[in-house]
Amino acid sequence: MIFKKHAPLRGEITVPGDKSISHRAVMFGALAEGTTEITNFLQGADCLSTIHCFRMLGIDIENTPERILIHGKGLHGLSAPADTLDTGNSGTTTRLISGILAGQPFSCTLNGDASIQSRPMKRIMEPLSQMGADIVSLKDNGCAPLRICGSHLHGIHYSSPVASAQVKSCILLAGLYADAPTSVTEPQLSRNHTELMLAGFGADVQSHGTTATILPEPVLSGMKITVPGDISSAAYFIAAGLMIPGSEILIRNVGINPTRDGILRVVRDMGGDVTVLNEKVSGGEPVADLLVKHSALHGTDIGGGIIPTLIDELPVIAVLACMAEGTTVIRDAQELKVKESDRIAVMTENLTAMGAHVTATDDGMIIEGGHPLHGAVIDSHLDHRIAMSFAVAALAADGETEITGADCVRISYPDFYETLKALMG
């Protein structure tokens, strides 16, 4: 797909439903008794993988453009799948469902695409094994395909070496089936949608600082969930609006949960003009409209506890840093190496191809802003967040930019290019 320089971007948009929340609504709805109705569900390929897996586990799910209906069968209502569960490109599906499957009275095999087959699963195999689960990597390389034979699980306290909501959620979900309370402490607080939503369904989940604790065997009851807009999808338009002269974009109904809003704090530190309007709480999650105006930006230092709150936004923040005066340092972000692609290597390689001054480090990047970007051929590595970040970079670059594998945006934002076009007027 070819992109050209464009100025300005103006208008009002909504972004699709939050990916993390959409996955969880399907999973927890399946484990609840009665019907769960989800509106503003993200119809992205990752969330469709979750629907596909739960249908294979015997759950009746109606998917229409207006709403999703999950006919839950309770904590013990899943049945053995006839075939391997295909989790596609989705790390959230793979890791969270593993926690649920560890406590079932049947065995099954999970597998995904080439990216999933290279992402680390030891981080869930280790704590699940401590709980008594029988989970093996079939190629013995710590990755999918995984074979999980449901077992009797014990409650544990797990100190996670990584701040990962997927790891935390996997353990808490296994904890639903354990014989005693289960808790997880993380080095920094990761997104807390599992804790908030499971409590909404009726589970006893307590959070104290970076520790979350769940009690086993709750009765979960079906509920209505309206999914807020995904701040990780809004991030591309926040960056584009700030970077491109003359731009003004109003993004309606964006989730601004404090475990996800790091990008707002960082762009403000960089001198970005983003106003939060009409704050309200919807389905237990804070949401707001974001008004973004073009701004003169300067470099900043990003590291420590803020990293988990903007981990998926770092690729587009790196693009923004190229347009800012001065140096931006991103550190403590080694997790970027094990996302859908190695995002430190792929961002550095592609930004350098466009004329940016970027140095990859072990745990992030050093970006010297203020060097004009030019068009280039960009390899998305089939990573949706890379493709969208470079579509934004291309709007500020001289000449033409070609992005290969650009349709991978269907993973999290199927209408991304249409929305971008609408803002071009």
Q: Kindly list the residues in this chain that would bind ligand S3P in the complex (CB under 6 A).
A: 20, 91-92, 164-166, 169, 190-191, 311-312, 335
91 is in an annotated binding site: yes
| 119 annotated ligand binder | yes
Active site positions, annotated: 312
Report the distance separating Cα 236 and Cα 172, nearest Å.
Answer: 31
Q: At what angle do helices 416-424 and 231-243 cross, to 10 degrees?
A: 30
**Is-contact 267 48, C-beta < 8 A?**
no
List the one residue out of 307, 424, 310, 416 whose CA is nearest residue 42: 416
Is there a binding annotation on residue 326? no
Question: What minimum distance in Å lies between the beta carbon of 397 and ligand S3P?
Answer: 27
State in angstroms the smallest separation of the CB of 92 from ligand S3P.
Answer: 4
Distance between CA atoms of 152 and 133, rounded to whole angstroms? Answer: 7
Cα gap 405→381, rounded to integer Å = 7
Shortest distance, position 15 Cβ to ligand S3P, whole Å: 15
Nearest residue to 130 via CA among 160, 93, 110, 97: 160
Residue 343 is labelled as binding a ligand? yes
Residues in contact with 61: Cβ distance below 8 Å, sequence separation at least 6, in sequence order: 26, 30, 51, 54, 55, 68, 69, 70, 71
CB of 308 to ligand S3P, least distance (A): 7
**What is the rounded CA–CA span in Å between residue 87 and residue 76?**
21
Q: How far apart are CA 193 and CA 256, in angstroms?
A: 12
Q: How far is the CB of 318 from ligand S3P (least distance, A)?
A: 15
Cβ proximity to ligand S3P, 107 vs 118, nearer residue: 118
> Are 28 and 220 in contact, with CB atoms under 8 Å apart?
yes
Q: Which is nearer to ligand S3P, 99 or 150 (CB)?
A: 99
State yes or no: 147 annotated in a binding site.
no
Q: Are 98 and 177 in contact (CB under 8 A)?
A: no
Closer residue to ligand S3P (CB): 20 or 104? 20
Nearer to ligand S3P, 78 or 165 (CB): 165
Residue 98 marked ligand-binding: no
The whole-angstrom separation of Cα 22 and Cα 67 is 12
Q: Is the peptide bond before 81 cis (omega within 30 degrees of 0)?
A: no
Strand order in the sheet with 364-368: 301-302, 327-330, 364-368, 357-361
Alpha-carbon span 320 to 393, nearest angstrom? 8
Shortest distance in whole angstroms from residue 312 CB to ligand S3P: 5
370 annotated binding-site participant: no
Report CA-CA distances (Å) from 190 to 210, 265, 310, 407. 8, 16, 10, 29
**Which residue, 9 or 235, has its beta carbon nearer to ligand S3P?**
235
Contacts of 334 (CB under 8 A, 6+ apart): 362, 363, 364
β-pair partners for 317: none
Q: Quote the least distance from Cβ 189 to ligand S3P, whole Å.
A: 12
Closest CA to 133 of 109, 147, 153: 153
Q: Which is nearer to ligand S3P, 261 or 335 (CB)?
A: 335
Which is nearer to ligand S3P, 7 or 162 (by Cβ)? 162
Distance CA 20, CA 153 (A): 26
In the annotated binding site for 3-phosphoshikimate, the residues are: 19-20, 24, 164, 166, 312, 339
Please give the annotated binding residues, written as ranges: 19-20, 24, 91, 119, 164, 166, 312, 339, 343, 385
Residue numbers belonging to the annotated binding site for phosphoenolpyruvate: 19, 91, 119, 166, 343, 385
